[in-house]
Structure 1
Amino acid sequence: MRRALVLLVALLVAAPALAEGDIPATELSYTQLKNPSQEAQAKALMDTLRCLVCQGQSIADSDAQMAGDMRALVRQRIQAGESPGQVRQWLVERYGDYVTYDPPMSWLTVPLWLTPIALLLIGILIARRSFSRRPGESGQGEDT
C-alpha cells in the first residue's frame, strides 16, 4: 500500500514535466510572417484569443505548446488570405466561445456580463450603509 502511495505521489509531482510534449514547435509558432501588415493583423488577433491550457494568458503571451499551435494556425490562415474575423470565427467554431476574451452575449454568458455589475451595486450599497451617519453619532468627541 505504501509503495502505491509513493508511486502516486511521484506521478503527481512528475505530471507537469510530462505534460509538455517532445513534439517540436510548429514553424510559425515563434516566427513572424514576412508581410508586416499580415503579421500585425495576426498579432492583434492573437492578443484577443485565450490560451486553452493557461486560461489566463492570450495565445500571444503563452509558452504552452497548444498556444504555439494556435499562433501557427492564425498565421497560416492570415497568410493564406483569410481575414482576422474569419480566423476568429473558425477558432470559435472549433474551440467554442471560451477561446475569446470577449464572448458574445447569450443565455450561457449572461452571468459573465451581469455578475460584475451586480457585485459593483452590492459594493456601493455596502459602502453607502457603512459611511452613512446614524442620528446622534458624529464620530467625534463631545465638546463641553
Structure 2
Amino acid sequence: MKSTVIVYICCLCLLAFSCDSRPKQNPKYTPATSATDSVINSGGKVAVENYREGARMIAANDCFTCHRVEEKTIGPSYREVAARYHFNDGNVENLAHSIMYGAKGLWGEREMTPHPGLEKRDAMEMARYILSLDTTNKAN
C-alpha cells in the first residue's frame, strides 16, 4: 500500500512537470531574431549585432510615433537620416543630442520631441543603430 502511494505521487509529479503551461515561443522568430527586431527592420532582416541594443531601445520608447525605418511619416525615416549623415563619432553625438533635447529645422518646420529622461549612452546607442542603416555610402 505504501509503495503504491509513492508510485502514485511520483506519477503525479512527473505529470505536473511534463505539462509546461508557459506560452510557446512564436516559431516565426528564430532565437537570434526577436519580435522587436522584426518590427524594427524591414524585409525580416535583423539589426547587426553591434546595434541591436539601440534597435531595442527605439522600440521600447515612443520613436515609432513619428518615425519608421523605410518611410517618412511625421519625421524622416531612419534610412533618410542615415543617408544624410555619415556614421562617425561626431554625427552619433549630434543625433543623440537631438534625441535627448529635441530639434527643429533640420528636417523642415516640425519639431522633434525631446526625450530628456534618456541617458546619453542610451541615446548614443539609438543613434548608432539609426546611422548603421545607411545603404547609400554617400554624403549629401
TM class, shorter-length: under 0.3
TM-score by length of 1: 0.25
Identify the structure with the greater helix proportion. Answer: 1
TM-score of the superposed pair, with normalisation by structure 2: 0.25
